[in-house]
């Protein structure tokens, strides 16, 4: 269900605007309103449930002990059959000239996403990663730990904001999301605030507006708000939307 009314626009004036509904419909609505954002930083579903299989998602082995995770098939229903491509066509209409774009995803999907973006005249600058310094080992006796999440850094024309004093190596090293950041409820793919904070500091300036069309528990918005940026977030699932709303309205992580 899409909650759209003028009150939501008022919320943006007070620095965030949260939309509970499908990102295609809500991005179209933003386009019709003539809204442009300075950056899009987002973490869509990765289609990993079908790839990994339910048994591995349910049970990650640490040493000889089985450990449950919140990445169950039920919690990750949004991931199954997710269309990686359709939403990309909205990006050029929403991102201002010189705006930055970050898209997290599984490495296997990155080629298709990059190809589509190039066709939309979005410049794909680099493939970078978040290095987890405490990754969760899966089937540790038979495979290497997958301790990275990849993201594409892209821009739309012009000179993009890039606030660095020295060369940025493109590797963001942070631990998994802290428990203290999940006090309002858990999202199975919640990103850590310190990772998003660094990204926002490099790619945006105070007072600018960031869109996350797959905001989940609202981590991009919480980091944006703490850095005096404006935020527009879209989330389909009411349970995760409520977590995001509480985190942003309560001004707590």
Ligand X SMILES: C[S@@+](CC[C@H](N)C(=O)[O-])C[C@H]1O[C@@H](n2cnc3c(N)ncnc32)[C@H](O)[C@@H]1O
Binding site for ligand X (CB under 6 A): 22-23, 43-45, 78, 187, 189-191, 214, 216-217, 219, 234-237, 240
Contacts of 235 (CB under 8 A, 6+ apart): 18, 19, 20, 214, 215, 216, 218, 241, 244
Q: Which is nearer to ligand X, 198 or 237 (CB)?
A: 237
User: Least distance in Å: CB of 147 to ligand X?
Assistant: 18
Minimum CB distance to ligand X smaller for 83 or for 112: 83
8-24 burial string, b = 16+ CB within 10 Å, else e? eeebeeebbbbbbbbbb
Find the shortest distance in angstroms from Cβ 89 to ligand X.
14
Q: Yes or no: say if 226 and 200 are a contact pair by the CB < 8 Å rule.
A: no
> Burial, 224: exposed, middle or buried (Cβ in 10 Å; 0-12, 13-18, 19+)?
buried
Residue number with the shortest CB distance to ligand X?
216
Tell the smallest beta-carbon distance from residue 124 to ligand X (Å): 20
CB of 152: closest distance to ligand X in angstroms?
15
Toward ligand X, which CB reaches closer, 65 or 179? 179
Minimum CB distance to ligand X smaller for 31 or for 66: 31
Least Å distance, CB 239 to ligand X, is 9
Minimum CB distance to ligand X smaller for 117 or for 234: 234
What CA–CA distance (Å, rounded) separates 54 from 32?
40
Within 10 Å of residue 92's Cβ, how many Cβ atoms?
A: 16
């Amino acid at each position: 269900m899409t909650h759209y009314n003028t009150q939501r626009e008022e919320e943006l004036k007070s620095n965030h605007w949260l939309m509970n509904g499908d990102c295609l419909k809500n991005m179209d609505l933003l386009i019709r309103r003539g809204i442009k954002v300075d950056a899009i930083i987002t973490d869509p579903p990765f289609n990993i449930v079908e790839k990994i299989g339910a048994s591995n998602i349910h049970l990650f082995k640490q040493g000889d002990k089985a450990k449950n995770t919140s990445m169950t098939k039920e919690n990750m229903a949004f991931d199954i059959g997710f269309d990686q491509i359709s939403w990309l066509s909205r990006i050029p209409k929403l991102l201002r000239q010189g705006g930055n774009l970050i898209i997290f995803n599984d490495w296997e999907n990155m080629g298709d996403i990059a190809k589509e973006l190039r066709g939309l005249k979005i410049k794909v600058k680099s493939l970078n990663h978040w290095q987890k310094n405490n990754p969760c080992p899966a089937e540790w006796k038979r495979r290497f730990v997958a301790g990275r999440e990849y993201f594409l850094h892209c821009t739309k024309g012009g000179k993009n904001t890039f606030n660095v004093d020295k060369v940025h190596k493109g590797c963001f090293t942070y631990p998994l999301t802290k428990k203290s950041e999940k006090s309002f409820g858990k999202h199975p793919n919640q990103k850590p605030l310190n990772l998003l904070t660094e990204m926002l500091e490099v790619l945006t300036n105070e007072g600018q507006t960031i869109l996350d069309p797959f905001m989940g528990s609202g981590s991009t918005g919480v980091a944006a708000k703490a850095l005096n940026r404006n935020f527009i977030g879209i989330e389909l699932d009411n349970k995760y939307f409520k977590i995001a709303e509480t985190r942003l309205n309560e001004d707590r992580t």
